[in-house]
Each structure stands twice: as structure tokens, then as C-alpha cells.
Chain A
Amino acid sequence: MAGETKVKLRREVTPWGCFCWGYADVGADVYVALGLVMAAAQGATPLAFLIAGIVYIFVGLAHTELAAAYPVAGGGQYFTLRGLGDFWGLIAGAALMLDYTIDVALFAMASAGYINFFFPQIREYATTIGPFEGVNLIWMVQTLGLIVLLTFLNIKGIRESSLFNAILGAMDMVLEASIIVIGFAFAWNPEMFLQQWTNHFPSTYDLLYGVSIAVISYVGLESISQAAEETVRPSAVIPRTSLALIVAVVLFALLFPTLSLGVVPVDELAKREGDPVALLASRLPIVGFLAGPIAAVLAATIVLISANTGVMGYSRLAYSMSEYGLISPWLSYVHPKFRTPVRSILFFSAVAAIQAIFAFLSGKAMHTMANLYAFGAMLAYLMASLALIALRIKEPETPRPYWTPLNIRWNGRKIPIPGLLAVLGCTGMLIIVLWTHELARIFGPLWIAAWVGYYLWYRRQQGKSLFGSEVRDWDQQHLAVLQETGEWELLEQFKLQLERKSRQQKSASIRSAP
């Protein structure tokens, strides 16, 4: 904005903090998704998580390469913008924005719900507001209070909220790992697991529905991409944290349902969509008597840090989108003292709060939000996977600290097979989501259409091309980013590549001259 000094986001996220940004999201997603998936996929719940996990691995590898090569805020939206152009960047941004705002609303709500495990009177409270009956006004106020708290933390600065994530992330990982270790070592019964797998195998439709819900367990990588602009030494840290997160997430996502089926009857688990992990924990030996309260505290904290990750995600995403002229630059303002994108945090926290209010009024909050969450995630991942392939073709000279493995040569370019599989997998998942989720079929495309409408209006106001892309000097921008991050290795590689490119162009022009 005119007259305002451009202030950049500061780099203070450490490797553990970066890992926890992702883990916070994923850990909480497992808490929410396990019950929902179990209700649909029943005995085949581990299979549903496995299918979703395979697609996640391909997408994860693509994100790892992109986030390490382009360590700037925006994540999938930025990669898509750079690889496929402004319009598709907007679509990816809209899909991610849907996920982040829902993440904040849903997980703040869930966190308050788990706190209310200790206050049954609040949990049971209901009132009527105009035409809406059975509204839990206190729970709603608690949820809005948590959203305000997270908004404040994120405005105050990434250091505080990253520390918050790092401590709680570590606690939750230890507790989740303890449930798995104690469960498998002392309570897991393989015969029971096989029997439930065989006797409760679902129909194809239910399995696919379960798969489409299971994908919501795998959104954490996007958070690492979003934190890239604030990560210390991103080229070294991001590949490690991303790959470690892929391993950790796949382990937890596969072992929780496997353990559940070997400890608890599937019918009981299916009835406990809200707190399946608490039920599972209560059936463990040694720690079982404390399981209810522990699981409640554990869930309340981890879903809160997931909500915190959501605030961080949408604020950085909005910052990135306004920086690139997709939405108003008013949102990219960074507070001079806290160095955080204060306006985007406030604006989209308000959107999340409105979503939470509507969810409370609707009565089917969990299902509605899980549906839309899956739609947004798959659309964004599809765009990012396409962007990986496009950027391998368009920008082969960009130094990549991490290369997605298994490449085929095409026209002198390396095309990653996992990238192609990610595109196929995400397309398939998107079709499944649209087929099996009635609400996502309607509200998902409507959300995107609303963003496209705003985008077209805004671009027209600015006199910019509606469907074309603005001309940007990506090379200079990339050099500036690498300089600013102190990524000397990437910087020197990139400079040398640019020198080579310039030499080749000069030589080609000399040869073509008459």
C-alpha cells in the first residue's frame, strides 16, 4: 500500500516447529476422521486409510520438492500460480482457503467439545434462537472464544504460536505414540482384527466414502509449505520435516485403525464418531482407568493446535494471494511491530467464526465440514501436483534441494512418476468425493464459484487480464528469496544456472543472426 513500508514475514520456525505445524494438523485429523471413517468403512478402515495414504505419499513427495525449491508463503496456491498461471492459482487458493477456514471452525469447536467432557452440564445445554432449535449457545461462545485466542496468538507473532505448537505437538505425539505402543504390546488381538476385517467388510460405496473421509487425515503437509517463508534454512529443513511427516502420518493413520479393530468391536467404535480415540484408550490395560480424562485433554489440545495451524495457514495464504494480485493488497499488510499479516488474520478468522456459527445452527456440523474439507483438500492437491509437473517443464533451471524420485525423460525434462500418480490419485479422489458427498457436490463448487466471481470482478477493476497471467520476473524474485533466506547453496546454483541460460540464449541469437 502507498505510504506503508513493506515488512516481510520473519524466519523463526525451527525444524521441530516446522514438523509440529504439520503434525498438529494431522494428529487432530486422525482424532476426528477415525470415527467417521470407521462408521463408513467398518472392518476395512485400515484399507481406507491405506488407499488414502498411498495418494498422500505421492502428493507429499510433490509438496516436499515444491516447498523446498520455492520457500515462500502460499503453499499449493503459490506453486499453482507459478506453474499454471494466475487463474488456476486462484482456484487452488480458494480450495485451500476453504480447508483452512473450516479447519479453524471445526477444530476450535471440537476442542471446546473435548473441554466440555469435564463439564457435562455445558455439553448437554441447548436453547432456541429464533427458528433454530437445540443450539448450544455456551459451546458456541467457547468456540468463538478459542478462535479469538488463536487470532490474538497469531497476530502477536509466529514465534509465540510456533512455540505453542512445538510444545503441544511434542506432548500429543508422545501420548498418541503411547496409546499405540501400549495397545499393540499388551492388548491387540490379531484374531479379533482378522475376524472384524472379514465379518464387517463394507460395500464398495461405503469403502469409497470411507476413503474420501480418510483423506482429511492428510492435510498437514500444506501447513509446512505455508510456513516455508518463516522457516529457518528452508532448503535443508523442509525436505527433512516433510519426509519425516509423511512417515509419521502414515504410521499413525494406519496403526490407529489397525489397533482399534484388534481391541474394540467395530460396532462400538462406529457409535462413537465423536471420541473414538477416547474409547480405544479406555480399553487399554495399565492406563485404561485414566483414559477418558487423558484422551479428552489430549484431544482438546491437539485439535486446538490444529485450529492454530489453520489460522496460520489462511493468514499466510491470503498474504500470498494478495501479494500476487489475486485478491486485494489490503490483505497483505504486515504489522510493523509483530511482522505478521494482521488484516488477513482478522478477516479470515471472522470467516471461520461465521462458519462455526452456521455449523452450530445447522445441527450436522461434523459431517458438513468433513465433506467440504475433503473437497477442498483434493482440489488443492490436484492443482499442486499438476504444478509440480508444469514447473519441471517450465523451470528446469530452478535448483531443487529435493527431487521427487523415479523420473522419466521427456523432451529433455525430468517428469516425476509420483507426480503423475498424484494427479491420477487426486482426480480419482475428487471424483469419489463428489460422488459420495452430497454437500460437497453442491457447496464445494459454490465456494469456488464465489471466489472466481470475486476474482473476475477484482481483476476487471484493476484493468488486469481476467484469465491470463501477469508478467512477473520470477527469476529475480527467486534470487531475492534465496538471498533473504541466506540459502547460499541454492542461490549460487541458481545464479550459475541463469548464467548458463543467458550464455545459451546469446549463443543461439548469434547463430540465428543472418
Chain B
Amino acid sequence: MESEAKVLLNPHPLGVLIALSFVIILLVTIAWMLRVPQPLQQLAARAVFSVEQARQVIVPILDLSYWRADLESAYYTERAVELACRLVRNQEATIGLVYVVEMPRSLSLDAPLPEVQEQKMREALENARQIVRRHGLNWREEIRRCREADQGIRQAAQESQADLIVLGAAAGDRGFIGKFARIVDPLLRNPPCEVLIDSLPAPSPS
């Protein structure tokens, strides 16, 4: 027994500081340990992780110039790129920027594009690239010429084993909606993977 040892109260500021730090660290650690997060039920877990699993995302940039030359497609496709990036930015996904050119049957698939259209393509891809780069995600680019845009998108999705297609749609232009529906309908009827349509509301009259 050591009880006879003479003991004096001898507090030192550094010792008190160490004792306090020790207590705080220990208590905070144990409190954190005991606060176990609530588990998800199976269906909720499937929903959460099926979204989280998306690694290959395709954003088709539709070039329908041959169909209707005055159609401005930039804004809603760029918005679709932004949306896709936000959806997958925490999961190391790759964004596939697929420029889909619908070629008329009167031309061969590899016919040269008019300079205006080439310029439009370069600009559209550059804008999309900027958006993806801003999110720090990986991307790849592809120019796909096809007779029907839905077929081009489907092939691109299958070849890259895409998990998700994010397709932007403009609203308010009745002609475009009709054409767009013709592209989307087969994709939704027989989707190669998950398909997300981002349709903007019609602009207000003002």
C-alpha cells in the first residue's frame, strides 16, 4: 500500500489544460459514437443507392437544324448538362456529351456539315464542356450522326453502358414539342437505361 506517500495539491495550468482537453475529447468522441444514424428500409435504400450508383451519364445535345433551321437548342441542352452535373457530382461520374446530328435521308451519314452548323456544334460542345469542367467531373465527347435522333441516343447509351440519360427540352414551341415527342416516345417506351426529361415551363407572355 502506498497510502502513506505524502501528496500535495499542486495544480499546474498546463496539467489542468491537458485534463480538460482529455475530458472534452473523450466525451465528444463517445457521444459521436453512440449517435448511430437511423437505417434506411430496403426500398428506400434501393432508391437512394440506385441514384447514387450512376457513373455514366449521357446528355444528348440535339442538332435538328436539317429539320428546322431556326431552332435554337442551346439553352435547354446546357441546362440539362448543368442538371446532370449536379445530380452526379459527388459520385465520380463521367458525363458523356453526345452531339446528335439528325441527317436527312437525302444525304449520306458522313456528308460534310455546313460551316454554320460545324460552328454551332463547336460552340455547343464548348459551352457544355465549360459547365462540366466547372463541376470538376470527367467528361467525354462524341458526335453521333443518325437518321433518327432517338436511335442515335440509344446507341450512344448502349455503347457507353450509360446509367442515365438527361435530355433537355424547350417548351412553348409547338413544332418543337411535336418533334421532341417523336424522339422521346421510343426512348421512354423501351429505355436503354434511366431517362430523365427536363422540360422547361413555357415562357410568360411578358
Which A positions have Cβ atoms within 8 angstroms of B?
A: 15-16, 19, 177, 180-190, 233, 236-237, 240-241, 243-244, 247-248, 251, 255, 258, 262, 278-279, 282-286, 288-292, 486-489, 491-493, 496-497, 500, 503-504, 507
Contacts of A507 in B (CB 8 A): 161
**A-B CB contact pairs (8 Å), 23 listed:** A15-B33, A19-B30, A185-B15, A186-B15, A187-B7, A189-B15, A236-B36, A240-B32, A240-B34, A241-B33, A243-B33, A247-B26, A247-B29, A283-B7, A286-B9, A288-B2, A288-B7, A291-B3, A292-B3, A489-B39, A496-B49, A496-B53, A507-B161
Considering the chains assembled together, what is the distance between the CA atoms of A288 and B9 in angstroms?
11
Q: Is the CB of A285 within 8 A of B36?
A: no
Instruction: List B11-42 residues whose CB lies under 8 Å from chain A.
Output: 11-12, 14-16, 18-20, 22-23, 25-26, 29-30, 32-34, 36-37, 39-42
- With contacts A236-B36, A244-B30, A283-B7 known, is A188 near B18, CB below 8 A? yes
Q: Are A486 and B39 in contact (CB under 8 A)?
A: yes
Nearest CB of A to B101, in Å? 25
- Sort A-B residue pairs by CB-CB distance and give the 8 closest, nearest first: A282-B2, A188-B15, A244-B33, A184-B19, A488-B45, A488-B42, A185-B19, A292-B1
**Cβ distance A46 to chain B, nearest Cβ, rounded Å:** 12
Q: How far, in whole Å, are A340 and B25 apart by their CA atoms in the complex?
A: 36
CB–CB B36/A190 < 8 A: no
The answer to whether the Cβ of B206 comes within 8 Å of any Cβ in the partner chain is no
Decide: B10 and A236 in contact? CB cutoff 8 A: no
Q: Considering only CB atoms, which chain A residue lies closest to B11 in the complex?
A: A186
Knowing that A181-B22, A236-B37, A285-B9 touch, tell me 15 more A-B residue pairs with CB under 8 angstroms.
Answer: A19-B30, A180-B19, A181-B19, A185-B20, A186-B9, A187-B10, A190-B14, A190-B15, A240-B34, A243-B33, A244-B30, A282-B1, A488-B44, A492-B46, A500-B161
Give Cα A487 to B40, complex, Å: 9
| Chain B neighbourhood of A237, CB < 8 A | 36
Interface size on B, residues (CB 8 A): 42
Enumerate chain B residues within 8 angstroms of A185, measured Cβ to Cβ: 11, 15-16, 19-20
A487 to B30, CA, bound (A): 23
Is the Cβ of A240 less than 8 Å from the Cβ of B33? yes
Q: Do the beta carbons of B22 and A278 come within 8 Å of each other?
A: no
CB distance A493 to B49 under 8 Å?
Answer: yes
- Residues in A with CB closer than 8 Å to B10 are 186-187, 189, 285
How far, in angstroms, from A183 to B14 measured CA to CA in the complex?
12
**CA of A488 to CA of B55 in the docked complex: distance in angstroms?**
21
B33→A282 contact, CB < 8 A: no
Enumerate chain A residues within 8 angstroms of B42, measured Cβ to Cβ: 488, 491-492
In the bound complex, do residue B9 and residue A291 qualify as a contact, i.e. CB atoms below 8 Å apart? Answer: no
- Asked if B48 is an interface residue, CB under 8 A from chain A, the answer is yes
Question: Is B5 among interface residues, defined by CB-CB distance under 8 A?
Answer: yes
Distance between A95 CB and nearest chain B CB, rounded to angstroms: 28
CB neighbours of B11 from chain A (8 A): 185-186
Bound-complex Cα distance A262 to B10 (A)? 11
Residue of B nearest to A233 (CB): B39
Give every chain A residue within 8 A of B5 (Cβ-Cβ): 282-283, 288
A489 near B48 with CB under 8 A, answer: yes
Whole-angstrom distance from the CB of B154 to the nearest CB of chain A?
14
Residue B69 at the chain A interface, CB threshold 8 Å: no
Complex: how many Å from CA A182 to CA B23?
Answer: 11
Residues of A within 8 A of B3 (CB): 282, 288-292
The answer to the question of B204 belonging to the interface, with a C-beta cut-off of 8 Å to chain A, is: no
CA distance A489 to B7 in the complex (A): 56
Contact with A along B33-68 (1 / 0, CB 8 A): 110110111101110111011010000000000000
- Residue B8 CB within 8 A of the other chain: yes
- List, in ascending order, chain B residues with CB within 8 A of A288's CB: 2-3, 5, 7
Closest to B8 in A: A285
A166 to B25, CA, bound (A): 21
Q: A243, A289, A290, A489: which has the most chain B beta carbons within 10 Å? A: A489
Q: Which residues of A contact B14 (CB under 8 A)?
A: 188, 190
Minimum distance in angstroms from A411 CB to a CB of chain B = 16
B53 touches A248 (CB 8 A): no
For B12, the chain A residues whose CB sits under 8 A away are 188-190
CB pair A248–B29 under 8 Å, yes or no, is yes
A504 adjacent to B161 (CB under 8 Å) = yes
Q: A244-B30, A491-B45 are in contact. Are A262 and B39 (CB under 8 A)?
A: no
Closest to B17 in A: A184
The answer to whether B53 and A255 touch across the interface, beta carbons within 8 angstroms, is: no
Contact B18 A184 (CB under 8 A): yes
State in angstroms the CA–CA spacing of A185 and B11 once bound together: 6
Given the known interface contacts A184-B18, A492-B50, the answer about A244 and B29 at a Cβ–Cβ threshold of 8 Å is yes
- Docked complex Cα distance between A507 and B49 (Å): 23
Is there an interface contact between B15 and A184, defined as CB atoms closer than 8 Å? yes
Q: Whole-angstrom distance from the CB of B146 to the nearest CB of chain A? A: 20
